Amino acid sequence: MTRRKRIRMAMQKNGRLSEKSTSLLGRCGLEFGWSKDRLFSKCENFPLDLTLVRDDDIPEYVCDGVCELGVVGLNVLKEKLLARGADKPGRARVLRRLGFGHCRLSLAVPADRPYRGVRSLKGTRIATSYPATLREFLRKSKVEADIVEISGSVEIATTLDIADCVCDLVSTGTTLRSNGLKEVETVFESECVLARTGLPLSAGQERTAARLLQRIDGVMRAADAKYIMLNAPADALSSLKKVLPGMEEPTIIPLGGDGKRVAVHAVAYEPVFWETMERLKAAGASSILVVPIEKIIA
Ligand code: PRT
Ligand code: ZN
């Protein structure tokens, strides 16, 4: 009997990460028979099955090998790994940062309370849903404080006098400000990640995971990449290369018989702004085309 090659991936069922996680898999060419109420979804054209759960359960699933892969906020993964104890076998590790779901775990104090550095938090009560991450931060900062663990609506903890300050996720900062709090320290910067179990996979599953990673890398590399085509005098090539951001070695195609003018085709891995195009023109380029790239396998 051949060993399994299908892998199971845990993903958030319903929440901030669901749409972008789904879209990423779609751009990787994976097709699913979606149904909102289902907890499992089998990919029809790739050996992967999705398990759709609450984000809090994903680290546990991945650590225990219930799912070989998981898509989850690094904040949740780190918290669960710290809470679980770093020495337990079968831990999860991060394979890729996925470039969405950015946020930070921050300390915030009432706006009218003076703040004189992290040491001034000594002896305070800090409300958070991330006790293990906060505990690690306080230990490293050599500050002793009381951690008040609450599961939601952390931002109202000071108003309710459950705590003196809070440690919560922030993205725009609006929630903190509208609750009379000011952000004073960043504890942890987070984004959505692809994690894999520390437990061994079968050879077939390793190959499946490697194929998926190659596709994810292809999609992510293509996100900012552009294909640039332009015509230019052959002797302007070196100055053009200086202008083009993150360009690979270009393909040069002679135009006409005398070799004095060439067509240049290249992939640029950084954004190409109008200013860049103007500088290309000033360096001698004409007929400049910049087109988006859908996928790249390097
Ligand atoms: O139901 P389930 O348990 O699966 O979802 P959930 O409600 O626990 O999580 P969800 O969907 O809200 O968030 C999932 C993940 O998104 C988080 O674990 C983070 O990795 C990431 N993320 C990115 C955020 C935010 N940005 C964010 N702003 N998660 C939460 N927030 C909250 C924050 O807790 C605070 O209440 O948004 C508020 C602050 O936002 P600003 O813009 O006002 O600063
Ligand atoms: Zn959650």
Per the document, the length of the chain is: 298
Cα 53 from Cα 77, distance rounded (Å): 14
Q: Give the strand pairing for 69-73 and 125-128.
A: unpaired
Sign of CA dihedral 280, 282, 284, 287: positive
pLDDT (0 to 100) of residue 3: 56
pLDDT (0 to 100) of residue 90: 59
Cα 250 from Cα 150, distance rounded (Å): 56
Which residue has the least CA distance to atom 21 on ligand 1?
Answer: 101
Which ligand 1 atom sits closest to the C-alpha of 55? 4
How many helices and strands (H and E) does the chain possess? Answer: 8, 15
Q: How many CA atoms lie within 13 A of 253 on its CB side?
A: 8
pLDDT (0 to 100) of residue 269: 84
For 190, the token pair is 């987070």
Which residue has the least CA distance to atom 2 on ligand 1?
Answer: 54
Which ligand 1 atom sits closest to the C-alpha of 175? 43
pLDDT (0 to 100) of residue 1: 41
How close is the Cα of 57 to the center of ligand 2, in Å?
8
How close is the Cα of 189 to the center of ligand 1, in Å?
13
Percentage of the chain lying above the pLDDT 70 cut: 96
Nearest of 298, 244, 290 to residue 270 by alpha carbon: 244
pLDDT (0 to 100) of residue 245: 72
pLDDT tens-digit profile, the chain (298 residues): 445 899 999 999 999 999 999 999 999 999 998 766 678 999 999 999 999 999 999 999 999 999 999 999 999 999 999 998 765 655 899 999 999 999 999 999 999 999 999 999 999 999 999 999 999 999 999 999 999 999 999 999 999 999 999 999 999 999 999 999 999 999 999 999 999 999 999 999 999 999 999 999 999 988 878 999 999 999 999 898 888 877 778 899 999 877 799 999 999 888 788 998 999 999 999 999 999 998 888 7
At 229, which helix (H) or strand (E)? strand 226-233
Please list all protein residues whose beta carbon sits less than 5 angstroms from ligand 2, which is an ion: 55-56
Q: Which of 16, 61, 80, 129 to mutate to test the pocket of ligand 1 (most atoms within 8 A of CB)?
A: 16
pLDDT (0 to 100) of residue 36: 62
Cα 284 from Cα 63, distance rounded (Å): 56
Q: Which of 150, 171, 187 to mutate to test the pocket of ligand 1 (most atoms within 8 A of CB)?
A: 171
Q: How many CA atoms lie within 13 A of 217 on its CB side?
A: 10
Q: What is the pLDDT of residues 117-160, one digit of tens each?
A: 999 999 999 999 999 999 999 999 999 999 999 999 999 999 99
Is residue 83 classed as helix, strand or coil in its secondary structure?
A: helix
Indicate the DSSP class of residue 156: G
pLDDT (0 to 100) of residue 2: 47
Cα 165 from Cα 157, distance rounded (Å): 8
pLDDT (0 to 100) of residue 33: 82
- Pocket around ligand 1: residues whose beta carbon is below 6 Å from it? 12, 15-17, 54-56, 73, 75-76, 101, 103, 168-175, 190
How close is the Cα of 58 to the center of ligand 1, in Å?
15
Q: In what order do the strands lie in the sheet with 181-190?
A: 146-149, 125-128, 165-170, 103-110, 181-190
pLDDT (0 to 100) of residue 249: 83
**Model confidence, pTM:** 0.88
Which ligand 1 atom sits closest to the C-alpha of 54? 4
C-alpha pair distances (Å), 127 with each of 42, 57, 109, 147: 40, 22, 11, 6
Indicate the DSSP class of residue 45: S
